[in-house]
Amino acid sequence: MTQDLDFRTGLKDVLPTVFGYIGVGLAFGIVAHTSGISVWLVLAMSLIVYGGSVQFVLASMLAASSPVGAMVASAILIHARMSLMSMTVAPYLKRESTLQNILIGTLLTDETFALSMNKLNVTGHKLRPAWFHAANLTAYLVWAAATVLGALIGTMIPDAKALGLDFAAVAMFIGLLYMQMITDRSKPFLRHLGVVGFVAVALFGLMRVVPGTTAILIATVLGCLFGMGVEKRVQ
């Protein structure tokens, strides 16, 4: 990864992440097909919803004939974490236009967010729209293509969940977290590990009293506050 922030560099930087999109996208397409979702609906979900974890949940809810309101509410709660990521990225783009910020925020994902945080380590904490658009658009198009291909492959697999394919998104997020922890040289690894441990314990406790998606959101906010507290104490 270099310090360049042009469109071409964005394409190069996002390429390693693309393999994760392909793997999870194929898994979702297969799971969606075995849940009775058509190829065209898979494509529509990928282009409109554009969220691996949300789409896995929606596929299960569609198969169970859940109410539309419940599906919308679930999607909003699961995607709520993206507002926190967008707020983290926003200060680095405060000199850009509102339109540029909206375009970047609309296609921001866990993967491109993690990529941008790693990029900050080599650019002197600077980001540019051209680099972000390249990473976001590449991820967006690859995800849509992979999910459609997975739905087509799904015709040959009778029971995708028996293969554990619905765990693909979780596995990718674990990989992203690990890469973020080992590449961020601005903070000790043990400090990262401490924050992760705090969030894990908080999530475990919260899931006993509130729904899973709400617990994730609350644990994320608590983790941010805990991390800020640790940083201030160290300084």
Tokens representing 90 are 């926003």
Q: What is the pLDDT of residue 24?
A: 84
Domain residue extents for the chain: 7-186, 187-235
Largest Cα–Cα separation, the chain: 57
Residue 100 CA: distances (Å) to CA of 74, 75, 111, 131: 28, 25, 19, 12
Q: What is the pLDDT of residue 184?
A: 62
pTM of the model: 0.72
86-90: list long-range contacts, CB under 8 Å, 24+ apart.
88/113, 88/117, 89/113, 89/116, 89/127
Residue 29 · residue 149 · CB < 8 Å: yes
DSSP state at residue 27: H
In the block, which residue shows the tokens 């002197």? 124
pLDDT digits (tens, 9 = 90+) for 45-63: 999 999 887 888 788 778 7
